Structure 1
Amino acid sequence: MKFDFRIPQKKDSLDIATWKYDDIYSFYSNDKTEEKREWALNIHTEEDAYVIYNEDNALIGHCSFDNEDGEMILGLQMKPEFTGQRMGRQFVEAILTFGKNKYNYDHISLYVAKFNKRAIKVYQELGFKTIDEFTWDIYDEDVEFIVMEKQY
């Protein structure tokens, strides 16, 4: 599958703001809170954020690369209708390749909810290792997260 990384436009943000996930993954829905909805509606204004289109010119996800005190942190989200279709590895691999070429980092980390076994498996297959765990108060509930890192 071919992935095309683009600078987000307002129309992309409007689409991303509508993304809703099923079951336990509803935690990631972009309308979960007003704050999250506002974030999604403004992705096109964020620095180092990209939208990802497939070869059919369909928006399939977005990602961001945040440099926090020399630590490159990856954020990513796949459009709900594309999740669970065994394309996660290709999707994340393409993001990592794009990011490495653009930012030339020697390691990158990400945060993933501990319940998200599908994503954790993909990250492990791509060489990420768990380096920390913590609990974060999100949406008035304590959510366990794993910090994973990939070295190059």
Structure 2
Amino acid sequence: MQFVVKRMTEEYAKQILTWKYEAPYDFYNNEESSESLNELLENPYFALLNTDETLVGFFCIGSAAQVPFGNTVGAYSEDITDIGIGMNPSLTGQGFGAEFFSFILSYVLETYKADSLRLSVAAFNQRAIHLYTKLGFVKKMEFSRGSIEFITMVKK
């Protein structure tokens, strides 16, 4: 699969906000609200399309990729570029993750000249953690927000 990066648009954002993941990944479902729409449009979010112009996923960088509560426990105290991703739920669990995330990593490293990358993931998401580890990320820190545990992972 080949990918094209586009700036987030209202059309792409509205599509993303309708995505519904199956349990336990429904944790990542978004609510369709003006606040959620503004989050995607006013922060550095990017749409990832295939060559047929179909929206296959998105990514974000910077503080938009952080779990806000993590700042209170020092999870983001190091000056590292944060990255967050989301894949169209119709494509998850089909073996596209490595190709999808490798493309995003290459794009971000080349475009933003980042020395290191950090991501945050819910600890229950072993499928994602396996992928991130496979692509060179190592666990850095764990923290909880309510009943949800998060892990930050770093790739140098």
- TM-score grouping bracket, smaller chain normalisation: 0.7 to 0.9
- Residues of 1 paired with 2:27 and 2:102: CA distance? 24
Identity between Structure 1 and Structure 2 (%): 35
After superposition, the C-alpha distances for 1:61-83 in whole angstroms (9 at most, x for unaligned) are 11011067732110111111111
Match of 2:9 in 1: 9
SS in 1 for 2:24: helix
Q: Give the superposed CA RMSD.
A: 1.6
5+ residue gaps, structure 1, are none
Match of 1:130 in 2: 139
1:113 is aligned, of 103, 106, 122, to: 122
Give the structure-2-normalised TM-score.
0.85
What is the identity, as a one-letter code, of the residue corresponding to 1:123?
Answer: Y
Higher strand share: 1
Change (3 A) 1:129 1:87: same
What is the identity, as a one-letter code, of the residue corresponding to 2:143?
Answer: F
What is the identity, as a one-letter code, of the residue corresponding to 1:148?
Answer: M
1:38, distance to aligned residue in structure 2 (A): 4.1
Stretch moving more, 59-68 or 92-101: 59-68
What is the identity, as a one-letter code, of the residue corresponding to 2:138?
Answer: K
Give the structure-1-normalised TM-score.
0.87
Match of 1:145 in 2: 150
Corresponding residue pairs, total: 142
SS in 2 for 1:81: coil
After superposition, the C-alpha distances for 1:89-133 in whole angstroms (9 at most, x for unaligned) are 111100100000110111010000111011001100100000111
